[in-house]
């Protein structure tokens, strides 16, 4: 590949300087896999395949393990179906407790409950644009746009680390600036849902800096 900066320096090179940040996606010591051994985020949205664990103790003792069905319900004996699809986990807990109280009258006084997420579902997302390996990927429902970018091998040299866009149901959902995460550990990553599309756009402008020698200036 021709390097115009090399020509300015009176040199000829075959490759452009390394692009900062790209090596993160080639480092075998980094996995960037979503951590499933963490408390469920309060904004986690439930979906088919998620497992709900309900523990009751006190005057009444019972444990339920129910998986959300493809139509979005869990079914508890003597209570009937409870629709949970798309609800944040905090909202779902309140809804389940309200239903349980019709069966366990002392719930909240001498009967207590704990509702947690057991096995989590998998989602399928599409990664396209200027990435090394575009395609459809299966990942944990706790996965994010950055996790998806890693699965696809990271951006190509023509891709941007600052313009990573997520589309949901055909509409723009959010934009990730990976440099904010890689450099500062800040910025907002984007949680993904089943069917999301992650697009890495081409870069607009790129600046190269070369150090000639100890007395040289940045170019």
Question: Over the chain (219 residues), what is each successive 10-residue block's mean pLDDT?
Answer: 47 56 63 62 90 95 95 92 94 95 92 93 94 94 89 87 92 88 72 94 74 46
Residues 6+ apart with CB under 8 A from 123: 47, 138, 139, 140, 141, 143, 192, 193, 194, 195, 196
> Three-state DSSP class for 6?
helix
DSSP assignment of 20-47 equals TTGGGGG-TT-------SSPPPTTPBP-
pTM of the model: 0.72
Q: What is d(CA 69, CA 64) in angstroms, rounded to the nearest whole number?
A: 15
Q: What is d(CA 115, CA 97) in angstroms, rounded to the nearest whole number?
A: 9
Residue ranges of the alpha helices (H) in the chain?
4-8, 89-101, 145-151, 178-179
Per-residue model confidence (pLDDT) at position 219: 37
CATH 3.10.560.10 residue spans of the chain:
20-31+121-202
Per-residue model confidence (pLDDT) at position 218: 35
Q: What is d(CA 152, CA 219) in angstroms, rounded to the nearest whole number?
A: 33
Please give the CATH topology (third level) of the domain spanning 51-117: wza like fold (3.30.1950)
CATH 3.30.1950.10 residue spans of the chain:
51-117
User: Residue-wise over 78-97: b if at least 16 C-beta within 10 A, else e?
Assistant: eeeebebbebebeebbeebe
Pick the CATH number of 20-31+121-202 from 3.90.1150.10, 1.20.1290.10, 3.30.420.10, 3.10.560.10: 3.10.560.10
């Amino acid at each position: 590949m021709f390097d115009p900066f090399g020509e300015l320096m009176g040199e000829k090179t075959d490759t452009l300087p390394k692009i900062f940040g790209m090596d993160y996606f080639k480092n075998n010591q980094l996995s960037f896999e979503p951590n499933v051994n963490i408390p469920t985020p309060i904004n986690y949205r439930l979906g088919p395949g998620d497992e709900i664990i309900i523990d009751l103790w006190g005057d009444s003792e019972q444990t339920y393990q129910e998986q959300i069905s493809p139509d979005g319900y869990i079914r508890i004996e003597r209570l009937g179906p409870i629709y949970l699809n798309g609800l944040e986990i905090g909202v779902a807990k309140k809804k389940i407790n309200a239903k349980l109280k019709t069966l366990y009258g002392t719930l909240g006084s001498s009967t207590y409950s704990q509702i947690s997420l057991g096995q989590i579902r998998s989602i399928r997302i599409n990664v396209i644009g200027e990435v090394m390996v575009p395609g459809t990927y299966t990942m944990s429902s706790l996965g994010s746009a950055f996790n998806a970018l890693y699965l696809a091998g990271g951006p190509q040299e023509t891709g941007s680390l600052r313009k990573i866009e997520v589309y949901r149901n055909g509409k723009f959902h959010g934009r990730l600036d990976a440099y904010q995460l890689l450099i500062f550990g800040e910025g907002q990553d984007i949680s993904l849902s089943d069917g999301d599309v992650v697009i890495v756009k081409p870069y607009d402008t790129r600046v190269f800096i070369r150090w000639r020698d100890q007395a040289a200036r940045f170019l």
